[in-house]
Chains A and B, each alone.
Chain A
Amino acid sequence: MTLRRRHMLTGLGFLAPTVIILSAVGLFPLGYLIDVSLRNYNLAGGSAQYPYVGMHNFGVVLHDPIFWHASMVTVEYALIALPAEAVLGLWLAMLLNRKGRGERVRKLAKVVLIFPLMITPVVAGLFWNLMLNPQFGVVDYLLGAIGLPHLTWLSTPYLALMSVVGVDVWTWTPFFMLIFSSALAVVPQEQEEAALMDGANRWDIFRRVYWPYLRPGFTAALIIHSADIIRNFGMIFTLTNGGPAIATQTLSLYIRRMAFKIFNLGDAATMSVFALIITIILSRLYIRMFYQDISAT
């Protein structure tokens, strides 16, 4: 065996475990998902045979109004939640990043604000389900105490969606805050001082000094949380279970319903493929729109 060949084999030997593990945890499930999406795969359909049906399931899903409705609910949810979380997270990060007096209070506030992020989504959903209960929930009680009318948060279609968004904002704003805080911590103080000396106003300083440092983290946060919104299940399931009617039935809840209530795994897998495609497109879009390496500025 030549030395060159031996080096090649050694290299392959080192690479193999990684490739095998990545294939097992990433590529195999993806391949299996695509395989199921091409079959008539119904666990309760009267047959243990699951024949290939080509792209039939894709046609069925694209003609399913509930699939489109679930997709639109997911988009609406994302379009309201993401900007709200980004703006609130940035505002909190700027507040907590101020230099000067009150350092201890800011540190304590940082810890307290992170609590919602540490709560399991299922628990968050249940917790808010009880808080928003029109009979005994504390939210309605407080509204009543200040003379406002009682609201049926979880059984009025639009309010239910807003409740889902609200719980998401409550949970995920700290995540954005953390990302922005860590980015702000590395902004060189000299740049800000130089800008001030040049007569820049606060908006200019934010745009020209802070924003370039915030962009990479912001892009990462958008990608992570957009993917999370598409696959968010636990919180919505325990908060509204997709209701009332189908008002808060997002893509993930509909996929679960199709897979484990109707047992049409073929259609469910097809919807999952669409969800995956949407996630990939959004990620590319975010990178194109927002990402810029700090060294390029």
Chain B
Amino acid sequence: MGTRASDNPENANVGGTTLSRRRFLISSVAATVGVGSLAGLAGCGTTTSQPKTNGGGKSPGKWSYGSVAKNLGLSGITLHAPFLRRPGYTAAEKLIPEFTDETGIRITWDWMPYSDLYSKQVLSFRTDNSYHLALSDCVFVGSFVTNGWVTPLKKFWSNSEITDPELQVHGPNGFFPVLLFGYGTWGNTVYGLPFDCYSHLKFYNKQYFKEAGFHSTPSTWQELRDVYAPKLTDSSKNRYAYVLQAARNETIVADALLVFVQDWGGAVIDSKTFKPTIDTPQWRDALEFMISLKKFMPPGSDTWDHDPTVQALAQGTVAMIDEWSPFYTTLTTPSSSKIVNEVGVGVEPGNQLTHLRKPAFGGFSWMINSHISTKEQQAAWLFIQWITSNKMAPRYVEAGGVPGRRAVYQDRTLLAKYPYFKPLVESWALANPVERPRFASWPAVSAILADGASAAYTQAWSVSKALHYMQSNVYRTLETAGYYSGRQPLLQ
């Protein structure tokens, strides 16, 4: 902390100016404990005013994306990327023509559901490198980096010729530290810049809450189940209080199981030994609590992914959900929602007994494929800077996206217009970016957790059997991967 990045580009990326996990934790604690106002929160953890990351000394006025693309012969290059069918990418789709007009660099993309995102990219990296831009979920970072599929960004931002003089990665005008660490950093090196930024938020139907006599969201899970849910459930009217996303994939793990496990004080692995800590009372209580909520959910919702869950709220079937922040756009768009003017937003509840409140953390950053040509990498770097820039952030918000730039969340006009801003920033201050370990073995671990949690949730297995299954198989997976023999560094 306090180190000032000099013109030495390395300083932009390592040591004091790069976000270490420790620094992030300090930042988060400072934000949570000491800062009440949103403005204060936005400034948390930034004792250093970060300079622009490139040290070029060129006048900002002379630098433009168009001139760089032209001078370096990048115009005419086509970059291919994976795009999720989610609001943040529809927003990007609206903005990208401007980038192409300015630079001559074309961006093409494949639409895909989240469930295909990892597999399609892995197959691309292992075969034809068809994706120049990698879209990294927070849990893909370890896999992408340790396999050597993405390149550190210092390679580019140390080159003033191709780096926007106004690019700021750290500091008050940079990215939220938790996001830069969670989606883009591995072993103190930045590989990606946050683009589509998530935290779970409590979305609710204000009219239903009002009818039931509630004027705020439940602050604890116990309050949700014991006070709110009974009053908000009326199955004769096909109206239910709540629904969890429980599809047997990353969804049930990230959006349901670990939400409760964290608030109940559990973790997937011991942070020092990397041994699984699953077959524990915390996990048992968390899983049992999660199952106890089912009686307030629509029948048949055991296999729902994000879309049916969001639609259940949007169509008035359920009174509240906990969902990723960008779905605010879906809920407030008339073509996809019946409750456009009734959408309330709050922070995800915590646990009354443990006093822990750690909203689910997720999101995506853009990274650069390490196996494409230098010119393609330079073009990709221009695009990543542009789409994640401070300048584009307000427009990305207006188009339906959720950026990771701190400055945009202090814009008074936007704050007034988007009620999810305040709870989102609060949630990021509370979140744990390694709630899901980000190592290369995560997809295998996640599949085991999904199987166990889903089996217990649908009552195909007892909670004990599910916990035992998850514990033993996660151990076996990590042992085979080499985490206990010293073959793998204990990084998450």
Interface residues of A (CB under 8 A from B): 43-46, 60, 65-66, 133-135, 150, 152, 154-157, 240-247, 257, 260-264
Question: Quick one: which of A135, A247, A262 contacts B444, CB cutoff 8 A?
Answer: A262
Please give the distance in Å from A178's CB to the nearest CB on chain B: 35
> Could you show 12 A-B contacts with beta carbons less than 8 Å apart?
A43-B123, A44-B147, A60-B480, A66-B451, A134-B300, A152-B299, A243-B247, A245-B460, A246-B454, A246-B460, A262-B447, A263-B443
Closest B residue by C-beta to A132: B300
Q: Which of A134, A155, A241, A245 has the most CB of B within 10 A?
A: A245
B451-470 to A contact mask, C-beta < 8 Å, 1/0: 10011111111000000010
Question: Quick one: which of A134, A135, A245, A264 contacts B455, CB cutoff 8 A?
Answer: A245
Q: A260-B119, A261-B119 are in contact. Are A45 and B440 (CB under 8 A)?
A: yes
Q: A244-B303, A263-B443 are in contact. Are A44 and B122 (CB under 8 A)?
A: yes
- Residues A246 and B455 in contact, CB atoms below 8 Å apart: yes
B301 within 8 A of A: yes
Q: A154-B303, A155-B302 are in contact. Are A246 and B248 (CB under 8 A)?
A: yes
Closest B residue by C-beta to A244: B458
- Residues B457 and A245 in contact, CB atoms below 8 Å apart: yes
Closest B residue by C-beta to A137: B300
Q: Which chain A residues lie closer than 8 Å to B45 at the CB level?
A: none
Q: What is the interface of chain A mostly: helix, strand, loop, or mixed?
A: loop
- Residues B460 and A244 in contact, CB atoms below 8 Å apart: yes
Closest B residue by C-beta to A63: B476
- Cα–Cα, bound, A243→B458 (Å): 9
- Residues B299 and A244 in contact, CB atoms below 8 Å apart: no
B143 within 8 A of A: yes
B34-67 to A contact mask, C-beta < 8 Å, 1/0: 0000000000000000000000000000000000
Q: Which chain A residues lie closer than 8 Å to B147 at the CB level?
A: 44-46
Closest A residue by C-beta to B116: A260
- Cα–Cα, bound, A46→B298 (Å): 42
B481 within 8 A of A: yes
Q: What is the interface of chain B mostly: helix, strand, loop, or mixed?
A: helix
Q: A261-B443, A264-B444 are in contact. Are A245 and B454 (CB under 8 A)?
A: yes
- Residues B300 and A152 in contact, CB atoms below 8 Å apart: yes
Please give the distance in Å from B279's CB to the nearest CB on chain A: 15
B6 within 8 A of A: no
- Residues B248 and A155 in contact, CB atoms below 8 Å apart: no
B146 within 8 A of A: yes
- Residues A135 and B300 in contact, CB atoms below 8 Å apart: yes
Q: Which chain A residues lie closer than 8 Å to B300 at the CB level?
A: 133-135, 152, 154-155
- Residues B122 and A244 in contact, CB atoms below 8 Å apart: no
4 closest A-B pairs by beta carbon, nearest first, are: A134-B300, A245-B455, A245-B454, A155-B302
B375 within 8 A of A: no
- Residues A245 and B461 in contact, CB atoms below 8 Å apart: yes
Q: A156-B458, A240-B303, A245-B457 are in contact. List 9 more A-B contacts (CB 8 A).
A: A157-B458, A242-B248, A243-B247, A243-B454, A245-B461, A246-B248, A246-B451, A257-B447, A261-B447
Closest A residue by C-beta to B465: A65
B391 within 8 A of A: no
B126 within 8 A of A: yes
Closest B residue by C-beta to A257: B447
- Cα–Cα, bound, A263→B121 (Å): 12
Please give the distance in Å from A267's CB to the nearest CB on chain B: 10
Please give the distance in Å from B224's CB to the nearest CB on chain A: 22
Question: Quick one: which of B299, B443, B480 contacts A150, CB cutoff 8 A?
Answer: B299
- Residues B447 and A43 in contact, CB atoms below 8 Å apart: no
Please give the distance in Å from A206's CB to the nearest CB on chain B: 41
Q: Which chain A residues lie closer than 8 Å to B248 at the CB level?
A: 241-246
Q: Which chain B residues lie closer than 8 Å to A65 at the CB level?
A: 469, 473
- Residues A155 and B447 in contact, CB atoms below 8 Å apart: no
Question: Quick one: which of A43, A44, A155, A264 contacts B303, CB cutoff 8 A?
Answer: A155
Please give the distance in Å from B122's CB to the nearest CB on chain A: 5
- Cα–Cα, bound, A247→B458 (Å): 9
- Cα–Cα, bound, A43→B125 (Å): 10
Q: Which chain A residues lie closer than 8 Å to B440 at the CB level?
A: 44-46
Question: Quick one: which of A46, A66, A133 contacts B146, CB cutoff 8 A?
Answer: A46
- Cα–Cα, bound, A46→B247 (Å): 28
